[in-house]
Amino acid sequence: MKSSVIVFPGSNCDRDIAVALEKFKIKNQMVWHNDANLPKSDLVVLPGGFSYGDYLRTGCIASKSRIIDEIINHTKKGGLLLGICNGFQILTETGLLPGILLRNKELKFISKNVFLKVTNLDNNFCHNYKKKNIIKLHIAHNEGNYFANNDLLKKLEDQNLIAFKYSDRNGNINDNTNPNGSSNNIAGILNSEKNILGMMPHPERMIEPLLSGEDGSLMFESLFNKK
Partner 1 sequence: MNISNNLIESHGLKKDEYKKIVNLIGRKPNLLELGIFSAMWNEHCSYKSSKKFLKKLAVKNKNVIQGPGENAGVIDIGDDDAIVFKIESHNHPSFIEPYQGAATGVGGILRDIFTMGARPIATLNSLHFGSPEHPKTKNLLNGVVSGIGGYGNCIGIPNVGGEIKFNSSFNENILVNAMAVGLINKNKIFYSKAKGINKSVIYVGSKTGRDGIHGASMASAEFGENAEEKKPTVQVGDPFTEKLLLEACLELMKDDSIISIQDMGAAGLTSSSVEMASKGKIGIEIDLDKVPCREKKMTPYEMMLSESQERMLLIINNGKEKTAEKIFRKWNLDFSIIGKTTNTNNLVLNFKGSQVANLPLSSLSTDVPLYDRKWKKNTLPKKQKFLENLEKIKILDCLKKILSSPNNSEKKWVWQQYDHTVMGDTVQKPGGDSAVVRIHGKNKGVALTVDSSSHYCKAFPLYGGKQVVCEAWRNLISVGAKPIAITNCLNFGNPEKETVMGQFVECVDGISQACTYLDFPVVSGNVSFYNETNNKSIEPTPTIGGVGLINDLKNMISQNIKGTENYILVIGKTAGHLYQSELYREVIGFKNGPPPEINLFNEKNNGMVIQKLISKKIVKSVHDISSGGILVALTEMCLAGNIGVKIKTPNNNMTLHEYMFAEDQSRYLIEINEENHENVSKILKENSVHFDIIGKTQKEKIELSNNFSISLNDLKMLFSSWFYNYNKV
Using CA atoms, how far apart are residues 45 and 80, in angstroms rounded to an integer? Answer: 9
Report if residue 103 touches partner 1, rule: CB under 8 A.
no
Which of 37, 95, 175, 210 binds partner 1 (CB under 8 A)? It is: 210
Report the alpha-carbon distance of residue 6 to residue 44 in Å, rounded.
Answer: 7
Total residue count of the chain as it appears in this document: 227
Does the protein bind partner 1 through residue 202 (CB under 8 A)? yes
214 binds partner 1 (CB under 8 A): no
Instruction: Give whichever of 13 and 163 is closer to partner 1, judged by the CB atom.
Output: 13
CB nearer partner 1, residue 56 or residue 72: 56
Identify which of residues 126 and 137 has a Cβ nearer to partner 1 in the complex.
137
- Is 93 a residue of the active site? no
Q: Render the burial of 59-76: b for 16+ CB within 10 Å, e for the rest.
A: bbbbbebebbebbeebbe
Told to check if 50 binds partner 1 by CB under 8 A, we report yes
User: What is the pattern of x (binds partner 1, CB under 8 A) and - over residues 30-49?
Assistant: ------------------xx
Q: Tell me how many degrees the CA angle 107-45-192 measures, rounded to the nearest 5.
A: 85
Amino acid (1-letter code) at residue 138: H
Q: Could you say which of 4, 6, 16, 88 contacts partner 1 (CB under 8 A)?
A: 16
The verdict on 215 binding partner 1 (CB under 8 A) reads no
Q: Which of 1, 102, 134, 140 binds partner 1 (CB under 8 A)?
A: 140
Task: Give the Å distances, CA to CA, from 149 to 99, 180, 202.
Answer: 8, 17, 25
Stretch near partner 1 under the rule CB under 8 A, chosen from 67-75, 104-112, 128-136, 147-155: 104-112
Among 85, 127, 138, 143, which one carries the catalytic annotation?
A: 85
Largest separation between any pair of C-alpha atoms in the chain: 46
Applying CB under 8 A, which of residues 142, 160, 184, 191 lies at the interface with partner 1? 142
Q: Is 25 in the site for partner 1 (CB under 8 A)?
A: no
Query: Among 4, 6, 54, 84, which residue sits at the site for partner 1 (rule: CB under 8 A)?
Result: 54
CA nearest to 135, candidates 161, 167, 160: 167
Active site residues: 85, 202, 204
Applying CB under 8 A, which residues contact partner 1?
A: 9-10, 12-13, 15-16, 19-20, 48-50, 52-55, 108-112, 138, 140, 142, 202, 204-205, 207, 210-212
